[in-house]
Amino acid sequence: MATTDDHTIDHPLRQAVPFVRTLGLEFLEASAERAVLRLPDVPEQRNHIGGPHAGAMWTLAEAASGTITLEAFGHRLGDLLPLPVHSEIQFLKPAMGRITATAVLGRPADEVIAESDGGTRPEFPVKIDLTTEDGTVTGRMSITWTLKRVRA
C-alpha cells in the first residue's frame, strides 16, 4: 500500500467506491488482521448536536469492514465475490470530532476459504469499534459478509 503525506493509505477501496471519496474517509491501516479508517470532522456531515451524522458513521464502519474483507479475500476476487449480508450497529455515546473505525475479522480467513472451496457459501462476521480521538468507544458495529462463488 502506498502511504500519502498525511499518513493515510491510498487503498483500492477509495477508487472502487465513490461514496468513500465523497465522505473523505481516510485509510490509516489495512491488512488481513485489521483495518483502521477515519471519518474527518466536516461541518456538512454533522448531525443536529454537532457530531458526525449516524449515516456517515455507519458508512465509515462498513467501509472498514469492506477493507479488511478485501485484504483477507482479495486474492480470490476472480472466483469469489464478497457481499454484506446484514449488520447491526450500536451508538453507545454521542460522538464528536473525528471518528476512527477499527475492524477485525471474526473468523480465520483460511477457515472461510476452506468452507467456500468445500462447496458451501460461507458467512463471516467483522466487528468494528468506533472511537473518538481520545480513544472513547462511541459505537460498535457487527457486519456479516459472505463469499459468493462467481460463475464463469
The CATH number of the domain holding residue 108 is 3.10.129.10
30: which residues sit within 8 A by CB, 6+ positions away? 1, 9, 11, 36, 67, 68, 71
Average pLDDT of the residues of the chain: 92
Report the pLDDT value the prediction gives residue 1, as an integer from 0 to 100. Answer: 41
Report the number of distinct structural domains present in the chain. Answer: 1
Examine residue 5 and state whether it is found in any structural domain, yes or no: no
Q: Is residue 138 part of a domain?
A: yes
- pTM tops 0.75: yes
Domain of 106 in residue numbering reads as 12-149
What is the percent of the chain with per-residue pLDDT over 70, rounded to a whole number?
94
The answer as to whether 7 is a domain residue is no
Instruction: Please name which of 47, 19, 55, 59 lies closest in space to residue 143, comparing C-alpha atoms.
Output: 59
Cα-atom radius of gyration of the chain, to the nearest Å?
A: 16
